[in-house]
Structure 1
């Protein structure tokens, strides 16, 4: 067997299993989801093919897209989370005492189970015996006390804060990995030239990790659009906290409309792809300048 044939055989052999797994667990379920979206089916009885009627129902009923405004809270929280993670990453990348301990403390929420986090914040936000209201009372700020999970103006902010607190550790680790890849010689040369810490950040640090920032913004968009476990476990989507995913789950499994729920999932997939495409176009435009 020639060298070229051996090389081809090795490449095909190494790619075969990953491609089989990719088609089995990604493309086939996606195709099956689209097929289900064309059906009127409760998950048990016979399937009835109805074409694009489920999509017509989605785009003619404003209730389905109205819940997207709740996803906006998670997007804003995600942007704030990215900024805070970058700040802490820059600080903890320096030579400060106890930085490893602070890294563990900030990363710990990410590895905690969502159910445990929800129970913890339910005790924190409870309007009768909650720790937050008790703390505000202790320091004389009674006017700031709220029914954090009962009042519609505050509940989505509270849930978005939980998401921010939980996932900031992941962004922190990604940023720290990116910062440690920047050669220290560049910073030493900048300090010799008299550059301040802020000038080093804007001229060296931020341009060097720009692709990482773009990645985290992409994760922020997709994460905000797919927010599910925190509002689902904390409130079950009640009191104006329903997101697009919790709406999809309710339609599919609470109301036994598998076809309509599948169509909602397909629509969500298209929305995520749309935002990813827009972000790539915008950022590509910045690269061309």
Structure 2
């Protein structure tokens, strides 16, 4: 009788000790689950801070100095660089060149949207045409600059092709500001068309296929399908491409720098900033110009997001 009582009492004695152990286990599990995502994010965050946010912070700091980019000594000048930047109109006149690239980006979006819409349906050799349209975006920008430099030179590829159709042109395609900027903007259209095309194509293919079938049963043609199904369905991606196009137009650099170096009235704001830093050794002023460009792009993006908010699209 006594042994039975002792055996019955033993679980009651160990039961209180099991309670805290069970409580600690879920707490440790929750802690481990909470830390696991941050462990995966640690390396990308370190790289992002090291190569993005830290250089931006240094750029902002340099914009308040007169550093020449070489000397170890630099003195604080306050807002002097920004005052000089805004009191010299010629430093902002280069933004007029961005108008060519802005107009070219409109053409680029329209053409990319057209091809994405056509090739999203059942078309012969559509995979081949997809590759053709996307291939220019894979080519290095420096290589593209050199290729089109020979393409537009006097007696070059463009003149040879035009002569096959009986058109003999003696004009220098990169010799005047208007023709040079139009030519360079055309090159940017050719290069970045593939990126917008892929973005639009992916957005269009994400639209449920039964919507097209229902529209065809209701007698809708391709234009009606585009207007009432495709256009509303890709609105977030279209908004993204507009932001990328505007920011790219304001910060055009690679193609004009390689092909003309900013000569013949093709100098962009970024080319001017690079020259201020590395040619005239005014790194402080160049940093202020880069900060102003960053603020302009952020402001344009904010205004665009306010005018065209990212509302949830429900096509069903």
Tell me what 1:282 maps to. Answer: 307
Give the secondary structure class of the aligned counterpart of 1:173: helix
Which residue in 2 is equivalent to 1:253? 278
Q: Which whole-Å CA distance do the structure 2 matches of 1:146 and 1:221 have between them?
A: 31
User: Displacement, 1:286?
Assistant: 8.8
Please tell me whether residue 72 in structure 1 is matched to residue 99 in structure 2.
Answer: yes
Task: Give the Cα separation in 2 of the matches to 1:135 and 1:40.
Answer: 51
1:20-46 Cα shifts (integer Å, max 9, x gaps)? 222222221111111111111112222
Paired residue for 1:220?
245
Q: Look up the match of 1:159.
A: 184
* Structure 1 SS opposite 2:78: coil
Q: Please say if residues 64 and 288 of structure 2, whose CA atoms lie closer than 8 Å, have aligned partners that are also in contact.
A: yes
Q: Distance in 2 between matches of 1:65 and 1:115?
A: 26
Alignment-derived partner of residue 19 in structure 1 = 45
Q: Alpha carbon RMSD of aligned pairs, Å?
A: 1.7
Aligned with residue 202 of structure 1, among 222, 227, 250: 227
Q: In the alignment, is the contact (CA less than 8 A) between 1:78 and 1:224 conserved in 2?
A: yes
SS at match of 1:164: helix
Partner of 2:137: 110
Counterpart check, 1:81 vs 2:108? yes
Q: Which structure 1 segments of 5+ residues have no match? A: none
Give the distance between the partners of 2:284 and 2:278, measured in 1 at CA. 11
Rounded Cα–Cα distance in structure 1 between residues aligned with 2:134 and 2:170: 29
Q: Distance in 2 between matches of 1:92 and 1:80?
A: 18
Number of matched residues? 285
Kindly state the Cα deviation for residue 182 of structure 1 after the two structures are TM-superposed: 1.0
Q: Is residue 54 from structure 1 mapped to residue 89 from structure 2 by the alignment?
A: no
Q: How far off is 1:167 after superposition?
A: 0.6
| CA distance in structure 2 between the aligned counterparts of 1:60 and 1:192, rounded to whole angstroms | 64
Shift of 1:145: 5.3
Q: Look up the SS of the partner of 1:5 in the other structure.
A: helix
Structure 2 residue runs of 5 or longer lacking an equivalent are: 1-24
Partner deviation per Cα, 1:181-212 (whole Å, 9 max, x = no partner): 11110000000011111001000011001101
What is the rounded CA distance, in whole Å, between the counterparts of 1:123 and 1:239 in structure 2?
A: 17
The structure number with the bigger radius of gyration is 2
Alpha-carbon distance change, 15 to 80 in structure 1, aligned in 2, over 3 angstroms: same
Contact (CA 8 Å) 1:228, 1:243: kept in 2 or not? yes
Whether the 8 Å contact between 1:179 and 1:209 is mirrored in structure 2 is yes
State the distance in 1 between where 2:78 and 2:206 align. 52
TM-score of the two chains, using structure 2 as the length reference: 0.86
* Bigger shift: residues 178-187 or 132-141: 132-141
Looking at structure 2, the residues matched to 104 and 234 of structure 1 have their Cα atoms a distance apart, in angstroms, of 26
Superposed CA offset, 1:130-184 (max 9, x none): 2222333332334x65311011221100000000000101111111111111111
2:203 to 173, 178, 191: 178
Q: Distance in 2 between matches of 1:285 and 1:7?
A: 32
CA contact 1:136–1:145 (8 Å) conserved in 2: no
Matched, 1:98 2:125: yes
| Equivalent residue for 1:43, pick from 44, 69, 73 | 69
- Corresponding residue for 2:215? 190
- Change over 3 Å in CA distance of 1:12–1:132 after alignment to 2: closer
Larger deviation, residues 4-13 vs 224-233: 4-13
